[in-house]
Amino acid sequence: MKLTLAYLRAHKVKALLLSLAFALTAFLPLALTVLVRTYQADLTARAAATPLVLGAKGDRYDLVLKSLYFSGPLESPLNAKEVSEIKNAIPLHLQFTAGGAPLVGTNLSYFKFRHLTPATGTLPLRLGDVILGSAVAKRLNLTPGDHLLTDQASLFNIAATYPLKMRITGVLKETNTPDDDAAFTDIKTTWTVAGIGHGHSDLEKSPEDVLTKNGTTLQASPAILQYNEITPENIGSFHFHGSETTYPVSSAIITPDTPKATTLLKGKFSTSETRQILVPNLVIAELLGVVFKIKRFLDRASWLVYAAAGLFTTLVVLLSLRLRQNEWRILTRIGCARNTIVKLQLQELGILLITGLVIAMFAASFFMKFGTGSLNFPN
């Protein structure tokens, strides 16, 4: 062993290159395996903790992924009335973003359901308040008392509502879930962003050119701008048009009290042509089945990589033996047995392989810690 280590110390560059070649060969399949298992655990844990999801008839994967992981905007075919009529239903409004993060309109039941508590500040207290996930607050460098603007859907649509300047009331504790990468507000605030609710300036104090008189009544022209911030001074002027029962809801998380209630809900929506109720755990399991089919193919393909690495290693060893013939001849002349020479070569190869594997494991661990973060899906 001392002779092997002395040789490796004398040929550091060669030893390092071979170790890195072995490490790279082992890293790719190792990182893929760890990555898939980690995401599988994250996916199944959040899905298993969510009993039922109600939404529009259509793509099941889209409904579950967007309702659980906020992977993008979700259309709003539901209405507030049908959600309010279901016991233990938590509404979700998922159409807007703020600071590049999903803006989730919901109610206080969501925080209790997901066990979310503020690390600093408080939960949203009134219309126009927002609380940030830990990752969002860190990325935007925002704290309670600061403000966050909603993202404008279209820069060229002059008829669109103005971005809403929301007051940040708190930052949630880190949970290593998609909640870290989202901003949460009361669903009425997202309805305000959608233009269903808005406030106006005081008509009596408005300039004459934006007012018309009809007898004794003052009428406002379209020139009066809507507020883009809700403050204690103007919150009283904010109002909503139409019946609240018709206001849009993207989807709803339902937590039935009993198995019987779950069965009744499934039966109620099983024949609906416009609504569907899903068990997220089953949908995610089906989705993971497709992922693992792809992984099995990649695993089989990785054997080709191993075979190529084995051939490469054999070639390097054979070339090394040819270059070291004089070295082995000298060892034989001084009385070194042939099996000892083979043992030295195997020890050298073993040390390089183990070193490469250790490097690959450290690289995979570093990749998982700093290269992935919480579970996220592209919009």
Q: Tens of pLDDT along 70-116?
A: 988 887 789 899 999 999 999 999 999 999 999 999 999 999 999 99
Indicate if 126 and 69 belong to the same structural domain. yes
Compute the average pLDDT of residues 346-353: 81
Indicate if 274 and 188 belong to the same structural domain. yes
The Cα 35–Cα 16 span in angstroms is: 27
Please give the mean pLDDT across all residues of the chain: 80
Last residue of a domain, one of 245, 278, 311: 278
Last residue of a domain, one of 261, 278, 295: 278
Last residue of a domain, one of 278, 309, 326: 278
Indicate if 240 and 262 belong to the same structural domain. yes
Indicate if 266 and 127 belong to the same structural domain. yes
Q: Measured at the alpha carbon of residue 369, what is the angle toward residues 364 and 374, in degrees to the nearest 5?
A: 125
Indicate if 100 and 245 belong to the same structural domain. yes
DSSP state of 126: S
The Cα 359–Cα 252 span in angstroms is: 46
194 within a domain of the structure (yes/no):
yes
Amino acid letter at 123?
A: L
Which of 265-274, 315-324, 366-375 is predicted least confidently? Answer: 366-375
What is the pTM assigned to this prediction? 0.71
Indicate if 30 and 88 belong to the same structural domain. no
Report pLDDT for 131: 96
Indicate if 108 and 185 belong to the same structural domain. yes
60 within a domain of the structure (yes/no):
yes
Nearest 10 degrees: Cα torsion 184, 187, 191, 192: -60
pLDDT grade for 379, boundaries at 50, 70 and 90: very low
The Cα 97–Cα 150 span in angstroms is: 6
Residue 59 three-state SS: coil
Exposure string for 212-225, b = 16+ CB within 10 A, e = fewer? eeeeeeeeeeeeee
Q: Please give the full DSSP string across 259-305, using - where no structure is assigned.
A: HHHHHHHHHHHHT-SSEEEE-HHHHHHHHHHHHHHHHHHHHHHHHHH
136 within a domain of the structure (yes/no):
yes
Report pLDDT for 226: 52
pLDDT grade for 180, boundaries at 50, 70 and 90: very high
Structural contact between residues 239 and 199, judged by C-beta atoms closer than 8 angstroms: yes
Indicate if 65 and 21 belong to the same structural domain. no
pLDDT grade for 51, boundaries at 50, 70 and 90: very high
The domain of 314 spans 2-43+287-370
Structural contact between residues 63 and 53, judged by C-beta atoms closer than 8 angstroms: yes
Which of 95-104, 196-205, 225-234, 272-281 is predicted least confidently? Answer: 196-205
320 within a domain of the structure (yes/no):
yes
Report pLDDT for 76: 72
Indicate if 143 and 179 belong to the same structural domain. yes
Please count the structural domains in the chain. Answer: 2
Over pLDDT 90: what percentage of the chain? 31
Report pLDDT for 3: 67
61 within a domain of the structure (yes/no):
yes
Diameter of the chain by CA atoms? 121
The Cα 226–Cα 195 span in angstroms is: 10
Which of 110-114, 155-159, 179-183, 191-195 is predicted least confidently? Answer: 155-159
Instruction: Tell me which of 106 and 370 has the higher pLDDT.
Output: 106
DSSP state of 163: P
Indicate if 104 and 163 belong to the same structural domain. yes
Report pLDDT for 378: 43
With tokens 């939404």, the residue in question is: 55
Indicate if 188 and 265 belong to the same structural domain. yes
Structural contact between residues 93 and 81, judged by C-beta atoms closer than 8 angstroms: no
Report pLDDT for 210: 47
209 within a domain of the structure (yes/no):
no
Structure token digits, residue 304: 């080709």
The Cα 179–Cα 55 span in angstroms is: 20
With tokens 């901003």, the residue in question is: 183
Structural contact between residues 220 and 56, judged by C-beta atoms closer than 8 angstroms: no
59 within a domain of the structure (yes/no):
yes
Is the pLDDT score of 332 beyond 60?
yes
Amino acid letter at 99?
A: G
379 within a domain of the structure (yes/no):
no
Is the pLDDT score of 303 beyond 60?
yes
Q: Please give the full DSSP string across 85-121, using - where no structure is assigned.
A: TSTTEEEEEEEEEETTEEEEEE-HHHHHHTT--EEEE
Structure token digits, residue 7: 């040789």
Q: Measured at the alpha carbon of residue 31, what is the angle toward residues 28 and 34, in degrees to the nearest 5?
A: 150
Structure token digits, residue 28: 């790719």
The Cα 311–Cα 308 span in angstroms is: 5
Structural contact between residues 120 and 142, judged by C-beta atoms closer than 8 angstroms: no
Is the pLDDT score of 377 beyond 70?
no
Indicate if 144 and 246 belong to the same structural domain. yes
